[in-house]
């Protein structure tokens, strides 16, 4: 065991993991976290806590991660390179470990242009792959980047993201290989709607033998409406939504669109489960946490293993 | 070269509001080439300032001058002959030139007439784009001659990130993804294997992060 987290135990024992996601409040209201967490409890093995996603200021992922741990849930702290230099990053990793957090997801971070502070200065002292190297260095070699020995090792289970739908497509698996070479333990992918393309991506992953070196969790997000499907297709960079999905959402009509979104999601999970090298799903039910239980249940993934 | 653009005339008028005798000083270096602060721009700006002041019913005397360069002492010296007759100097040079004038003409308020933007190239007539962030530690040999610091919106060393789509950057469909450019260039060169190597954490101490920079060539000092 590298970190001994619940997520690591499930993945290393060959289990099919289910992770969820929680977006912190745009303020200091802890009840928002408690409400969302209660909907995820028992349905997922670990909960990603986003780090000021889309560059909108929210409660910090470390703080929310610590609150989840206190509630008896397991957090995966997301950490972006946009807002901190290597000094703050390493300091925050020590702090997060001290507060009980055992999983970290290393990300570059959305550009601040999208957020509510577009005039901010960004940092990007490290990139996501260098962040993976940094956490691994701290965990396995007991050193900080500057070379000093550390007092107490932050034994983190190291994750990163992969987007099979960004360009250039052929390079996506190479970039994944770089993350593996940097020392990542698990990968969570961007939301998948184009299953055929994801299957092609996974074939390339297997061709390189990467599926044996890293646990890949396939990202899924249930659609609420045809409008959301269209928005994802047209407005979100690096997201692909096939026309057949849009047609299904449209065909369901307004009243049944949520139900159809859940159906699509459950079907996807069942298909993903069969793909060699997919070791779990990362379920991002954005502002729809109450859908998580039924999705996971219908997908046949309950109860979650106790390890 | 260094690329700059003229400041809005309203901003300049506010800056010179307290003065009625100023020098508008252009530069024949970079800002001439990028049409921001050369002789032509000195003329156009001076006329516009006079006209604006006229409509306010106030006079404005302007000495129009365009120096060989403003980043070298010797080319600044000729301004001493007449500088005392004016209250302020509005420089249309880059930020380095403006500051050097301020250092050498200590009695004069020196004001910026341009915003200095970046180190770049003339991509086509009237279009300038950024190429270099002067990080002081060049990696172009490893990235197909395309700079990830200047061309990637996040200055990633191991891109492209998940926001690269159709060759464009997530921040703006008009902005090329720097890492897509690097990918294509290395593909053309048959060097795609270079992209498999994790580029290490960068030493930023050679960049501005190491404090104001200085270069000394002892053999050239007098």
- Each residue of A138-169: pLDDT tens digit? 999 999 999 999 999 999 999 999 999 999 99
Calculate how close chain B gets to A303, using CA atoms only, in Å.
33
Domain at A6-298, CATH from 3.40.50.720, 3.20.20.70, 3.40.50.170, 3.20.20.220: 3.20.20.220
In this predicted structure, the answer to whether residue A177 has a pLDDT above a threshold of 80 is yes
pLDDT < 50 regions, chain B: none
Residue with tokens 């530690």: B137
Q: Is A227 helix (H, G, I), strand (E, B) or coil?
A: helix
Number of H helices, E strands in chain A: 11, 8
Chain B: residues touching A (Cβ < 8 Å): 153-167, 170-172, 177, 180, 183, 195-196, 198, 200-202, 204
pLDDT of the residue at A307: 86
> Integer distance in angstroms from the first to the last C-alpha of chain A?
13
In this complex, the residue of B154, B158, B166 whose CB is nearest that of residue A167 is: B166
pLDDT of the residue at B48: 98
| Residues of A in Cβ contact (< 8 Å) with B160 | 166-168, 171, 175
Calculate how close chain B gets to A255, using CA atoms only, in Å.
33
Calculate how close chain A gets to B177, using CA atoms only, in Å.
10
Q: Are A98 and A72 in contact (CB under 8 A)?
A: no
Other residues' Cβ atoms within 10 Å of the Cβ of residue A225: 16
Q: Residue-wise over A11-37: b if at least 16 C-beta within 10 A, else e? A: bbeebbbbbbbbbbbeeeeeebbeebb
Other residues' Cβ atoms within 10 Å of the Cβ of residue B54: 11
Residues 6+ apart with CB under 8 A from B168: B174, B175, B176, B177, B180
Note whether A167 contacts B200, CB cutoff 8 Å. Answer: no
- State which residue of chain A sits closest to B177, comparing Cα positions: A167
Other residues' Cβ atoms within 10 Å of the Cβ of residue A143: 15
pLDDT digits (tens, 9 = 90+) for A192-246: 999 999 999 999 999 999 999 999 999 999 999 999 999 999 988 778 999 999 9
Tokens (6 digits) for B26: 């252009």
3-state secondary structure B24-43: EEEECCHHHHCCCCCHHHHH
Note whether B164 contacts A181, CB cutoff 8 Å. Answer: no
- Four-residue CA torsion sign, B95, B100, B103, B108: negative
The HSE-up count of residue A79 (CA atoms within 13 Å, CB side) is 36
Q: Are A201 and A294 in contact (CB under 8 A)?
A: no
| Residues of B in Cβ contact (< 8 Å) with A108 | 154, 156, 161
Average pLDDT of the residues of chain A: 97
Mutate to test the interface with B, among A111, A123, A125, A137 (most CBs of B within 10 A): A111
- Cα separation, B201 vs A279, in Å, equals 30
pLDDT of the residue at B45: 98
State how far Cα A89 lies from the chain centre. 19
pLDDT digits (tens, 9 = 90+) for A34-83: 999 999 999 999 999 999 999 999 999 999 999 999 999 999 999 999 99
- Bridging pattern class, strands A278-283 and B114-124: unpaired
pLDDT of the residue at B33: 97
- Four-residue CA torsion sign, A81, A84, A90, A92: negative
What is the pTM (predicted TM-score) of this model?
A: 0.96
Structural domain spans, chain A:
6-298
Note whether A111 contacts B163, CB cutoff 8 Å. Answer: yes
Note whether A238 contacts B156, CB cutoff 8 Å. Answer: no
- Bridge partner residues of B91 (DSSP): B25, B112
Q: Which helix (H) or strand (E) element contains residue A249? A: helix A243-251
DSSP B219: G
| Residues of A in Cβ contact (< 8 Å) with B205 | none
Integer angstrom CA distances of residue A14 from A43, A200, A215, A284, B214: 18, 23, 10, 22, 57
- State which residue of chain B sits closest to A235, comparing Cα positions: B170
DSSP A262: H
Confidence check on the interface: ipTM exceeds 0.90, yes or no: yes
Can you list the domains of chain B with their CATH numbers? 2-118 (3.40.50.2300), 135-204 (no CATH)
pLDDT of the residue at A117: 98
Residue of A198, A204, A212, A210 whose CA lies nearest to A274: A198
| Residues of A in Cβ contact (< 8 Å) with B166 | 167
Q: Where are the beta strands (DSSP E) in chain A?
A: 17-22, 46-49, 75-80, 103-107, 157-162, 186-191, 215-220, 278-283
Q: Are A139 and A157 in contact (CB under 8 A)?
A: no
pLDDT digits (tens, 9 = 90+) for B80-121: 999 999 999 999 999 999 999 999 999 999 999 999 999 999
Calculate how close chain B gets to A168, using CA atoms only, in Å.
7
Residue with tokens 């492209």: B160
DSSP A20-52: EEEPPPSSS-HHHHHHHHHHHTTT-SEEEE-SS
Note whether B201 contacts A126, CB cutoff 8 Å. Answer: yes
Residue of A105, A104, A30 whose CA lies nearest to A63: A30
Q: What is the phi-psi region of residue A54: left when phi exceeds 0, alpha when psi lies from -120 to 50, beta otherwise?
A: left
Q: Which helix (H) or strand (E) element contains residue A182? A: helix A169-182
In this complex, the residue of A113, A178, A238 whose CB is nearest that of residue B158 is: A178
């Amino acid at each position: 065991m590298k970190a001994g987290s619940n997520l690591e135990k499930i993945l290393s024992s060959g289990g099919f993991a289910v992770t969820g996601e929680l977006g912190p409040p745009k303020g200091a209201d802890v009840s928002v976290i408690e409400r969302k967490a209660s909907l995820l409890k028992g349905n997922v093995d670990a909960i990603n806590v986003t780090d000021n996603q889309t560059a909108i200021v929210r409660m910090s992922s470390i703080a929310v991660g610590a609150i989840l741990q206190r509630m008896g849930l397991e957090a995966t702290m997301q950490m972006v390179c946009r807002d901190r230099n290597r000094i703050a990053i390493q300091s925050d990793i020590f702090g997060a470990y001290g507060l009980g957090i055992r999983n970290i997801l290393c990300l570059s971070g959305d550009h601040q242009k999208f957020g509510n502070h577009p005039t901010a200065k960004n940092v990007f002292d490290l990139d996501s792959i260098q962040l993976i190297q940094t956490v691994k260095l701290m965990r396995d070699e007991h050193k900080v980047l500057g070379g000093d020995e550390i007092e107490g090792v932050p034994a983190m289970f190291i994750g990163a993201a992969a987007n099979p739908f960004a360009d250039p497509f052929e390079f996506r698996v190479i970039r994944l290989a770089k993350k593996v070479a940097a020392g990542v333990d698990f990968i969570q992918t961007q939301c998948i709607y184009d299953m055929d393309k994801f299957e092609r991506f996974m074939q390339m992953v297997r061709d390189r033998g990467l599926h044996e070196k890293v646990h890949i969790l396939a990202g899924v997000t249930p659609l609420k409406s045809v409008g959301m499907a269209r928005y994802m297709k047209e407005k979100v960079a690096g997201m692909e939504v096939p026309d057949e999905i849009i047609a299904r959402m449209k065909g369901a009509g307004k009243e049944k669109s949520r139900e159809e979104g859940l159906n699509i999601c459950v079907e996807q999970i069942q298909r993903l489960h069969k793909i060699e090298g997919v070791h779990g799903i990362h379920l991002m039910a954005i502002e729809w946490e109450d859908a998580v239980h039924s999705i996971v249940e219908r997908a046949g993934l309950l109860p979650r293993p106790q390890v | 070269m260094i690329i700059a653009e003229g400041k809005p005339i309203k901003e300049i008028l506010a800056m010179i509001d307290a003065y009625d005798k100023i020098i508008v000083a252009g530069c024949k270096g970079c800002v001439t080439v990028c049409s921001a602060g050369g002789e032509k721009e000195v003329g156009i700006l001076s006329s516009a300032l006079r006209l604006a002041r006229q409509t306010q019913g106030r006079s404005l005397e302007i000495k129009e001058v365009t120096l060989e360069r403003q980043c070298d002492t010797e080319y600044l010296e000729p301004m001493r002959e007449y500088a005392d007759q004016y209250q302020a100097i509005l420089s249309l040079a880059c930020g380095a030139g403006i500051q050097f004038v301020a250092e050498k003409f200590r009695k004069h308020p020196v004001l910026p007439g341009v915003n200095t933007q970046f180190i770049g190239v003339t991509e086509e007539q009237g279009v300038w784009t950024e190429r270099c962030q002067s990080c002081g530690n060049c990696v172009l040999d490893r990235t197909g001659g395309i700079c990830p610091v200047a061309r990637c919106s996040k200055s990633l060393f191991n891109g492209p990130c998940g926001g690269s789509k159709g060759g464009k950057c997530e921040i703006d469909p008009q902005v090329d993804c720097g890492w897509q450019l690097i990918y294509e260039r290395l593909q053309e060169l048959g060097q795609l294997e270079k992209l498999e190597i994790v580029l290490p954490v960068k030493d930023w101490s050679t960049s501005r992060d190491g404090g104001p920079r200085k270069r000394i060539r002892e053999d050239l000092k007098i």
